[in-house]
Structure 1
Amino acid sequence: MNTIAERIYDFLKNFPPFSMLSKEQLLSICKSIHVHYLEKDNDLFITGNSIKNEFYVVKDGAIGLFEEKTNSLVDKCDEGDIFGLRALMRKDNYKLSATAIEESIVYSISSELFEEYITTNSEASNYLLSSFVSNTRYIESDTSKVEKENEKILDFFEEQSADYSKNPIHCSEETSIKAAALIMTNKRVGSIIITEHKKPIGIITDKDLRTKIATGLISIEKPVSAIMSFPVITYPENITVAEAQIAMMKHKITHLCITKDGTPNTELTGLLSEHDIIVIRDNNASILVKEIKRTTSFIELQNIRQRAEKILKRYLNQQIPIIFITKILSSINDSITNHIIELSLKEMPTLPPTSFSWLAIGSQGREEQLLLTDQDNALVFENVSKEDYKNTQQYFLNLSEKINKGLEIVGFELCPADMMASNPKWCLSISEWKKQFKSWIKTPDQDNLMLCTIFFDFEFVYGDKKLVKKLSKSIFKAIDAHEIFLNFLGINALKNPPPLSFFRQFLVERDGEHKDQFDIKARAMMPLVDAARLLILSKGIDIPKNTITRYEKLAELEPQNGDIYIACIKAFKNLLRYRTEQGIMHKDSGRFIDLNTLNKANRLELKSCFKAVKEVQDLIQTRFKLSHFL
C-alpha cells in the first residue's frame, strides 16, 4: 500500500468527519490528498482570489485566517482543523487570507472527494450540518463587547431555514420546449419544473436550452421530456441553508424542488436555487455586521438597517424563536451605534478629554427593540476637576448631538421626550449620575419613579465599561439604604392591572388618536417588564436587563414560584412577537392594535398572556405588602 497514504490515514482517522468514514472510504481519500509545506508567513490563498477546487486540513503547525482590511486574525486553525470548506461551498472568492503563522504542513482535499465520500456518508454529513456554525473559532483579542457577541450569535446563516420561491413555474411533460422557453422568458425565470399531477418529475434550466437547443442537437418543437433532467432532488419545506448547500454540491446541481413531505411523491410547493442562497447570504445578519464596519457614511448605515428589517421579516415568517431574533437585531443595532460613534468621534476637533460610556436605555437597553422606534440613550463620563467640568460636558454634548443625528439618519427617530445623550440632563459625569440615581431613589415620587423605570434599564454599548459597573454598584447601594423605595416601585408596577374589564373584555383607549384601540405596550408588556425589574432589583443582582433573562434568573432563584416566572416568559415572548408582527404589517411601532383585526385565536392567545400578568402582580402585592400602601 502507499506508505504516504497510510500515514495520512493514521492522522485523519482521529478527527471528525474523517473518523466517521469507513477505512476504505478514508483510504481512498488519502491516496488522492495533496500535501503542502508552508514556511512561516507564506500564504495558501489570499482575499479576493478565486476559490480552488479544494478545502484544507492542518497536519502540523498553525494557519491564520486574516481579514484583509484590518489584517486582524479572525480564526486560527491548529492540528486537525478544517478550513476553506465554507468558501468551497459558497462558490465565491475567498473572503479571508490563509497564512502560515508558523511552519506548517497542510493537506488539501478536492471537492470531488468531498462529494463522493463525505456528503454521501450520513454520519459525516450530519456532523457537518450540526457543527457548521459552531466549528468556526474566533480569537478574542482586544475586541469590543459587540464584536464578541456578534461572533457568538450571528454566524447563524447555515442553520436557518432557506427562503425559497413559493410559486415555482411548472408545466406538463407534453409541453413543447419552445412553449416552455416562452413561459420562462415571460416569467423572467431561469428554470421550469415539469410536473405530473402537481408532483415534480423533472426540470429544465437555461443551461439545458443553451447546451441542447441552441446547439441544434434537439428540435425546439419536441416535448420538454426530451431535455429535462430527472429525477429531481427534493427536500421538505424546512430545509436549512446548510442542507441546501451540501445537497447541491453532492448532486452537482443548482436547483432543489421543495415538496410537502420532501419526497417526489407529494405536491410541489417551492423551488430553491443557488441564486436564492446568494441572496440570503447578502441579507444575512453576519454579513450586515461585517458591512457595517466598512461603511463611511450614515446613509450607508441607513441602507444596512433597512436590510435588517428584511431579515426580521424573514425570521418571523420562519418562526425563528423570538429571543434569538431579539439578539440578532440588537447586535445589528449595537454594531450600527458603535460605528456611528466611531464616525462621529472622527468628526470631533480633538480626542475625548476623558473616558466615557455610551448607554442604551429603556427597550434598547433591554435588547427588546425589534422595530425602528425613537432613540433612548445616555452618556456617562469619568470625573474631572470642577474647573474642567463645563468644557468636558460640552465636548460630550457636541459628540452626542452628532451621534443622535447619525442615528436619526439611519432611521431611529429623535426621542420626543428628549431622553437622549445630547440633553445636558442625561450627559453627566459618573459622580453626577450617582447623585441623580440616589435622588430618584431617596424621593420616589411619580416623576422620579417614571425616570427610574427608564434609566434603570441601561446597557453598555461603547466606551469604558468600568464606568457602567461603578454606576450599577452605586444603584444597588442606594436601594439598600432606602428599602422603602422597592415598595414604591412595586406600587408603580401595579398601576396597569391585567387589561380585561369586569366582563372579560379588552380595556381599550377611551379617547384620543387611538380611541377604541388596544395598547399592547402599556397594558400588557410593560406590567411584565416592570415586575421583572422590581423582583430582580430586590435580589440585588446585576444581570443583563433583558426581561426574559430576568425571569429566567428568578425561576432559578425561586423554584417555588417557577411556574409563575415561566408563564411570564412565555407571555412576554408571545406579546413581543405579536407586537412586532403588527408593526411590520401596519408599518408603525405595533403598539396600538385594532381589535377588529383579531380573530378568535388571536384574542384567546392575548388573554392567556394576561393571566401571567395577574399572577406576577399578585405575587408582588403579597411580597412587598402593598395592600398597606394602596
Structure 2
Amino acid sequence: MTDFSDLGELFAFVSGHAPFDGLPDDVRARLVADSTVCEFTEDAVIMDGMSASPDHAFVVLSGRVGLWNFPNLAAGDQGDVDEVVGPGGVFGYVVILVGAKGGPRAVALTDVTLLQLPAWAVGDMFSTPAGVTFLASELAKPATAPSEEESRERTAGEIVRRAPVTCPPTATVREAATAMTDAKSGYIVVQNDAGEPLGIVTDHDLRARVISVGRPVSDAVSAVMTAPLAAVPESALSSDVLIEMLDRKLHYMAVLDEHASVRGVVQDVDFLTVPTTSTFALQRRIERATPQELPEIGGTIREIFPVLTRQQAPVRHVSGVAAVAIEGMVRRCIELELPVHPELREGDFTWLSLGSVSRREVVPSSDVDSAIILKDEPGASEERIEERRDAALALAAAVHTRLEECGIPSDTNGAVAALPRFCRTESEWLYAASEWIEAPLSNNAMMMASLLVDGRPVWGDLTLQPVAGVYQHLSEHPRSFVLMLREALTAKARIRSMKDVISLRGGTFDIKAHALVPVVNIARWAALSRGSTKLQTRNRLAAGADSPVLPDDSAEVLRDCFSILERIRMDHQVEQMAAGREPTDVLSIRRMPSLDRGLLEQCVREVAAVQRRMANLAQYLDAGEW
C-alpha cells in the first residue's frame, strides 16, 4: 500500500497523472510540498460547491468520490451521481477558478484519501500547456444534458457576480491597492463623483506602473489607470464579450447598465461557466510558445471546431475563438522571425489579417490571407525602401511557412504578404486605394479593395488601415459606388436545380460560393456605403440596413440566412473532420439531413430574392440619395 506521507511516493503518484505529468519537476515538487493529505470516511461530504465557494481543489489518492454537478441533484438521494472520480482524478478546480457557487457537491463513496491542493496551484496549473490540454479533454467529455435554461447563452450582465470595486480619481495608489486587497479583487474601477467610469487599475498595472518603476504610492491612482475603460453593455452576449477580450488581450471587461454606469466587471476566469474554458490559457500558451511547440498548438487550434461544436457553442463563437487563436499564432511567428531580419525593427511595419480570419468567420477549411504596410520613412532612398521591402517579404514568407507547418494554410489565390502586391508602404497603399476608388475597372481594383477593406491590423500600428480609410468615403465617388454595388450582386445565390434538390437528385452544392459569398459581398458594400469600418458580416448588415437599396427587413433576412448557412457549413466540415476527410465547402445534397436540406433551399431562395430586389432598386437610385 502506498505511503502518501512519504513525499517521494506522493511525487511519484502525481507524476503519473494528468495534468501534473506535464508540469516541470520543480513546480511539481513545490506542489507536493505545499499540499495536504487528508482522509474522509464513506458518505462524508468533502465539499459543497452548491452552497459555498470552496478554497481548495482535490486529487483522489485512493478510494472513490461521487460528484453531483447540478443544483437539483445536490444530494445522493435526489438522483444518480453525475460522475465518479477514482485515483488520479481531480475535482473542485472549476469552482476555484470561477470563484463562485455552482457545483460540484463531492461525497466520499468509499473511505478516501485525498491530496488537498494549495490555492496557487490551481491557477498556475491550468495556465500551462499540460493544464490547457487537460481542460480541453475534460470539456470534450459528454456531460449530463443541461436544461434549456442552462444551455441558453448568457449575457454579460448575467455573468457579473458582484458589485464593482471603485474609487475616485483622487485616491492614492496606496488607497486603491488597499481597497483591492480588502475586497479580494484584482482590479479597481476609477470613477468620478457622478459615477461615470474613467478607467481601471489592475494587479498588473500596479506591478508594471508602480512597483517595477518605483513610483510613489502617494501618487493619485488616476496617474496609473488604464483609460478609457474597456466596457460592454449588460445585454452583450457572453460569446461576443469573450472574443473581444481575447482579441484585445484583456483580462477584465467592465459591464455597463442602461444608464452607462458600471454594473460590475467580468474577468477571464468568469468564462469558465460558458463554453471555451481554456481559450485564455491557449492564448497565453501561444504567446510563450517555442518554435518546437507551435505545430502542437496548431493541432490544438484545429480541435477548437469539434470540441466547441460538441458543446453547442454558437457558430460565431467557435469561429471567433479560432480566428483570435490563429492571429495569436501569426503574432508569435512574427516575433520568432524578427531577429532573423535585422533590416526590420518592431515598429517598421503593420501586419494585416484579411479574409475570413479578419471577419471572425473561420471554419476548418479556412486559410490565411495577409498584407503588410511598411511605415513610411521620410527622405528614405529608393534603395532603402526596397531593402526594407525585401526584408518584409522574406519575413512574411517565413511566417507563412511556419503557419503551414502548424496546419494553418496560406491563401491559395496568392493574397499573402509574401508577394509584392500585398507588401507596400503606407503611402503606396494610399495611392493605390485612391486609384482604385477613382478607376474601379482598372488593375483588379474592386477585387483588391474588397480584400483590403477587410483588413484587421494584428501587429504594429493597430490603427493603421489606409485602404479602409479611403473607402469610408465610397458614397462620395458615384461611379465606384454603383460599380461596387453591381460587383457585390455578381456572385449569385443559386442551387443548380431546385427540382433536383427536392427530388434528392441534387448532386453537390458549394455552400461558400453559391450561398455565403453573396451575403458577405452585400454586407461589405452595405457597410462601406454608410462609411462603416465594421468587419463581421452580421455587423456590416446592421450598419448598412434601412437604406434605399437594402431595407431593414432585407438586411434582417440576410442576417438570419447567414446564421443558418454558417451553422450548416460548420456542421458539415466538423463531420468531415470526424470522418478523417479534409474539410471542404462542397455539400452532398443527398446526404444532408432533410431539415438542413430544406433550410438550405429556403436560405438560397431568400438571398437570391434580396439580390433581385437590390438590383431593381439600384436602377432608380444614384449615390446622391445616400
How high is the TM-score relative to the length of structure 2? 0.56
Q: Tell me, what secondary structure is at the counterpart of 2:561?
A: helix
Matched, 1:359 2:359: no
Q: Tell me, what secondary structure is at the counterpart of 1:467?
A: coil
Matched, 1:314 2:307: yes
Cα-to-partner distance string for 1:370-426 (whole Å, 9 max, x where unaligned): 325332100001112243211121121122122111111121223332211111111
Indicate if the aligned counterparts of 1:133 and 1:158 stay in contact, CA closer than 8 A: no
> How far apart are residue 350 of structure 1 and its match?
4.9
Cα gap change, 1:503/1:609 in structure 2, threshold over 3 Å: closer, same or farther?
Answer: closer
Matched, 1:580 2:570: yes
Matched, 1:451 2:448: yes
Aligned mates of 1:134, 1:159 — CA distance in 2: 19
The aligned counterpart of 1:534 is 525
The aligned counterpart of 1:292 is 286
Aligned mates of 1:158, 1:400 — CA distance in 2: 36
Matched, 1:565 2:561: no
Q: Tell me, what secondary structure is at the counterpart of 1:464?
A: coil
From 329, 333, 339, give the equivalent of 1:346.
339
The aligned counterpart of 2:402 is 406
The aligned counterpart of 2:538 is 548
The aligned counterpart of 1:421 is 417
Cα-to-partner distance string for 1:174-217 (whole Å, 9 max, x where unaligned): xxxxxxxxxxxxxxxxxxxxxxxxxxxxxxxxxxxxxxxxxxxx
Return the letter of the residue paired with 2:484. L
Aligned mates of 1:517, 1:55 — CA distance in 2: 56
Q: Tell me, what secondary structure is at the counterpart of 2:123?
A: coil
Q: Tell me, what secondary structure is at the counterpart of 2:412?
A: coil
Aligned mates of 1:606, 1:600 — CA distance in 2: 10
Q: Tell me, what secondary structure is at the counterpart of 2:554?
A: helix
Indicate if the aligned counterparts of 1:340 and 1:407 stay in contact, CA closer than 8 A: yes
The aligned counterpart of 2:248 is 148
Indicate if the aligned counterparts of 1:372 and 1:589 stay in contact, CA closer than 8 A: yes
Q: Tell me, what secondary structure is at the counterpart of 1:357?
A: strand
Return the letter of the residue paired with 1:368. E
Aligned mates of 1:450, 1:471 — CA distance in 2: 13
> How far apart are residue 616 of structure 1 and its match?
3.0
> How far apart are residue 462 of structure 1 and its match?
1.1
> How far apart are residue 537 of structure 1 and its match?
0.7
Return the letter of the residue paired with 1:373. S
* Pairing 1:231-250 to 2, within 5 Å after superposition: none
Cα gap change, 1:521/1:359 in structure 2, threshold over 3 Å: closer, same or farther?
Answer: same
Indicate if the aligned counterparts of 1:133 and 1:156 stay in contact, CA closer than 8 A: no
Cα-to-partner distance string for 1:42-74 (whole Å, 9 max, x where unaligned): xxxx99984799759xxxxxxxxxxxxxxxxxx
Indicate if the aligned counterparts of 2:369 and 2:415 stay in contact, CA closer than 8 A: yes
The aligned counterpart of 1:171 is none
The aligned counterpart of 2:50 is none
Aligned mates of 1:606, 1:328 — CA distance in 2: 25
Aligned mates of 1:409, 1:355 — CA distance in 2: 26
Q: Tell me, what secondary structure is at the counterpart of 1:95?
A: helix
Aligned mates of 2:548, 2:34 — CA distance in 1: 57
Indicate if the aligned counterparts of 2:351 and 2:373 stay in contact, CA closer than 8 A: yes
> How far apart are residue 338 of structure 1 and its match?
1.4
How high is the TM-score relative to the length of structure 1? 0.56
> How far apart are residue 428 of structure 1 and its match?
0.4
Measured on the aligned residues, the alpha-carbon RMSD in Å equals 4.1
Cα gap change, 1:581/1:287 in structure 2, threshold over 3 Å: closer, same or farther?
Answer: same
The aligned counterpart of 1:160 is 274
Return the letter of the residue paired with 1:413. P
> How far apart are residue 464 of structure 1 and its match?
0.8
Cα gap change, 1:85/1:314 in structure 2, threshold over 3 Å: closer, same or farther?
Answer: closer
Aligned mates of 1:156, 1:583 — CA distance in 2: 30
Cα gap change, 1:307/1:451 in structure 2, threshold over 3 Å: closer, same or farther?
Answer: same
> How far apart are residue 433 of structure 1 and its match?
0.8
Aligned mates of 2:572, 2:162 — CA distance in 1: 32
Tell me, which stretches of 5 or more residues in structure 2 are unaligned? 1-29, 37-52, 57-94, 105-116, 126-155, 165-185, 188-200, 209-225, 227-243, 254-266
Return the letter of the residue paired with 2:272. E
The aligned counterpart of 2:123 is 95
Q: Tell me, what secondary structure is at the counterpart of 1:378?
A: strand
Q: Tell me, what secondary structure is at the counterpart of 1:360?
A: strand
The aligned counterpart of 1:369 is 362
> How far apart are residue 547 of structure 1 and its match?
0.4
The aligned counterpart of 1:486 is 481
Aligned mates of 2:343, 2:569 — CA distance in 1: 43
Aligned mates of 2:422, 2:415 — CA distance in 1: 7
Q: Tell me, what secondary structure is at the counterpart of 2:397?
A: helix
Q: Tell me, what secondary structure is at the counterpart of 1:593?
A: strand
Percent identical across equivalent pairs?
21
The aligned counterpart of 1:500 is 495
From 442, 449, 459, give the equivalent of 1:462.
459
Tell me, which stretches of 5 or more residues in structure 1 are unaligned? 1-45, 57-81, 98-126, 162-279
Cα-to-partner distance string for 1:5-35 (whole Å, 9 max, x where unaligned): xxxxxxxxxxxxxxxxxxxxxxxxxxxxxxx
> How far apart are residue 618 of structure 1 and its match?
3.2
> How far apart are residue 86 of structure 1 and its match?
4.3
* Pairing 1:235-274 to 2, within 5 Å after superposition: none
Q: Tell me, what secondary structure is at the counterpart of 1:432?
A: helix
Cα gap change, 1:411/1:575 in structure 2, threshold over 3 Å: closer, same or farther?
Answer: same
> How far apart are residue 501 of structure 1 and its match?
5.1
Indicate if the aligned counterparts of 1:50 and 1:94 stay in contact, CA closer than 8 A: no
* Pairing 1:105-124 to 2, within 5 Å after superposition: none
> How far apart are residue 301 of structure 1 and its match?
2.1
Cα-to-partner distance string for 1:198-245 (whole Å, 9 max, x where unaligned): xxxxxxxxxxxxxxxxxxxxxxxxxxxxxxxxxxxxxxxxxxxxxxxx
> How far apart are residue 87 of structure 1 and its match?
11
Return the letter of the residue paired with 2:618. F
Matched, 1:327 2:427: no
Aligned mates of 2:533, 2:381 — CA distance in 1: 31
> How far apart are residue 612 of structure 1 and its match?
3.3
Q: Tell me, what secondary structure is at the counterpart of 1:339?
A: helix
Matched, 1:394 2:390: yes
Aligned mates of 1:496, 1:147 — CA distance in 2: 31
Matched, 1:525 2:525: no
From 569, 590, 597, give the equivalent of 2:591.
597
Aligned mates of 2:547, 2:484 — CA distance in 1: 21
Indicate if the aligned counterparts of 2:392 and 2:423 stay in contact, CA closer than 8 A: yes
Indicate if the aligned counterparts of 1:379 and 1:428 stay in contact, CA closer than 8 A: yes
Cα-to-partner distance string for 1:76-123 (whole Å, 9 max, x where unaligned): xxxxxx9987499995715369xxxxxxxxxxxxxxxxxxxxxxxxxx
